């Protein structure tokens, strides 16, 4: 954690001129980025640098105020537009009305803040899961835990261990801008405290499995007490970057041409084909389900349609219940797989060709998966460009072969 009050934040910084003789000024709360205003004593250059929290732990960036250019820590140009835009927005602030609702559970003079504000859904969820580790480590501390969060995630907050909840009524899109009103509102609240720390908010939140029930209040799939008819569920997304299309260049090409809807029937037909052959193998042993966002096209009657066009607290809980009833979940890699993988008995994440750098970021492991071999069997990441019949074979093997697999290494220690 990083102390931001009363101590002045100092960062590992160097000016473009090569000087390390710097003046560290005020903290600016953009949203995802929390930055420090820095001035070089040698050349008077003024720039911003993000504090190492969340994505900034991996991607330190500098914004040069006079040119509005974004650089890496070594002053090489940053080409990551998705990361640069929110940072550079600090130089072109907006003053839209934005409310910061403060819920005080316990009164503390010293606090640690977990900043969950994000413009990427998956990043916000993963940062939120840092609470499992923070609450545990903070149990005997005098520090109060303060969570800054958007309304759509509030339903997942643990019921115990949080001193204050600061809810920022803003959308994902608004988090790509810098709102001076939000910055001022946060600074106003900080005046109440003697000492303030900022959590690093890791994107991979903990080295131990996440106890998902602490967050969603819904227990994950239990192989010891399974449902009478468990589900096999496919996670549906119809945005162009998450379609089940084997060729990444076709996918990107049609997306760039604005013709993404042409590919939706192929996405749909792959899912129907998958379930057709799984039903041929297993009959009525499972409930075959499609769940997720978007309701394009009707599915055959043997497939239960649990998709929605509107996400709210109730639909989120409903979908998590669907996930927890699923012995196996399949879906295209991405943030939509985080909660399903945490609740399902097993899952398969279909990895697009250009996404291998994000390996396992969308998969959460269960506390019951203490053996690495069991975890590897139950949570799989496979190339999306595999033949569909190979993917069907993998699904069948996972569903039929789990118990036999367990017998191979679950035994007593007797001689």
Instruction: Write the DSSP symbol of residue 156.
Output: G
Count of CB atoms situated within 10 Å of the CB of 262: 11
Tokens of 304: 């239960």
Question: Which of 68-72, 361-365, 379-383 holds the top average pLDDT?
Answer: 379-383
Q: What is the 3-state secondary structure (H, E, C) of 309-367?
A: CCCCHHHHHHHHHHHHCEEEEEEECCHHHHHHHHHCCEEEEEECHHHHHHCCCCCCCCC
Alpha carbons 339 and 362: distance in angstroms, whole number: 9
Q: Which is higher by pLDDT, 240 or 76?
A: 76
Across 40-54, average pLDDT: 92
Find tokens 């899952």 and name the residue: 347
What's the pLDDT score for residue 415? 67
Tokens of 195: 């000492």
Least confident of 75-84, 107-116, 165-174: 75-84
Find tokens 């398969």 and name the residue: 348
Tokens of 19: 């000087």
Alpha carbons 207 and 168: distance in angstroms, whole number: 29
Q: Per-residue pLDDT tens for 381-397? A: 999 999 999 999 999 99
Query: For the purposes of burial, counting CB atoms within 10 Å of the CB of 223, is it exposed (0-12), middle (13-18) or buried (19 or more)?
Result: middle
Strand segments, DSSP code E, in 95-230 are 100-104, 110-115, 144-149, 164-168, 195-198
Q: Are 351 and 341 in contact (CB under 8 A)?
A: no
Query: Which CA distances in Å does 70 have to 35, 59, 73?
Result: 13, 12, 10
Q: How confident is the model at residue 355 (pLDDT cuts 50, 70, 90)?
A: confident
Q: Per-residue pLDDT tens for 9-44? A: 888 899 999 899 999 999 999 988 999 999 999 999
pLDDT at 243 over 70: yes
Tokens of 237: 């997304």
Q: Are 34 and 115 in contact (CB under 8 A)?
A: yes
What's the pLDDT score for residue 342? 95
pTM of full prediction above 0.85:
yes
């Amino acid at each position: 954690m990083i102390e931001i009050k009363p101590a002045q934040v100092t960062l590992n910084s160097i000016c473009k001129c090569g000087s390390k003789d710097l003046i560290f000024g005020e903290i600016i709360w953009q949203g995802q980025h929390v930055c420090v205003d820095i001035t070089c004593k040698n050349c008077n250059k003024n720039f911003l640098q993000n504090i190492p929290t969340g994505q900034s732990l991996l991607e330190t960036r500098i914004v040069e105020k006079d040119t509005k250019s974004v650089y890496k820590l070594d002053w090489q140009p940053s080409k990551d537009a998705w990361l640069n835009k929110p940072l550079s927005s600090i130089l072109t602030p907006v003053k839209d009305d934005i409310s910061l609702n403060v819920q005080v559970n316990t009164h503390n003079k010293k606090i640690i803040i977990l900043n969950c504000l994000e413009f990427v859904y998956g990043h916000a969820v993963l940062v939120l899961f840092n609470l499992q580790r923070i609450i545990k480590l903070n149990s005997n501390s005098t520090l109060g835990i303060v969570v800054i969060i958007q309304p759509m995630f509030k339903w997942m907050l643990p019921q115990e261990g949080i001193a204050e909840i600061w809810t920022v009524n803003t959308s994902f899109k608004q988090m790509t801008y810098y709102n001076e009103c939000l910055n001022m509102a946060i600074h106003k609240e900080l005046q109440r405290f003697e000492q303030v720390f900022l959590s690093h908010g890791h994107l991979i939140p903990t080295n131990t499995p996440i106890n998902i029930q602490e967050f969603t209040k819904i227990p994950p799939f239990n192989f010891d007490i399974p449902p009478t008819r468990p589900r096999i569920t496919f996670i549906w997304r119809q945005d162009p970057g998450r379609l089940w299309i084997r060729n990444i260049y076709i996918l990107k090409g049609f997306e760039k041409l604005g013709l993404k809807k042409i590919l939706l029937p192929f996405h749909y037909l792959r899912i129907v084909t998958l379930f057709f052959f799984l039903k041929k193998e297993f009959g009525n042993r499972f409930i075959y389900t499609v769940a997720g966002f978007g309701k394009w096209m009707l599915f055959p009657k043997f497939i239960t349609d649990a998709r929605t066009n509107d996400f709210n607290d109730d639909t989120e809980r409903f979908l998590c219940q669907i996930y927890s009833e699923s012995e196996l979940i399949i879906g295209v890699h991405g943030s939509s797989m985080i909660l399903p993988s945490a609740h399902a008995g097993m899952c398969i994440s279909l990895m697009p060709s250009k996404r291998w750098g994000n390996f396992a970021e969308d998969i959460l492991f269960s506390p019951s998966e203490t053996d690495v071999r069991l975890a590897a069997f139950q949570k799989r990441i496979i190339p999306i460009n595999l033949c569909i019949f190979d993917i069907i074979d993998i699904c069948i093997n996972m569903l039929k072969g789990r118990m036999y697999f367990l017998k191979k290494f679950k035994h007593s220690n007797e001689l």
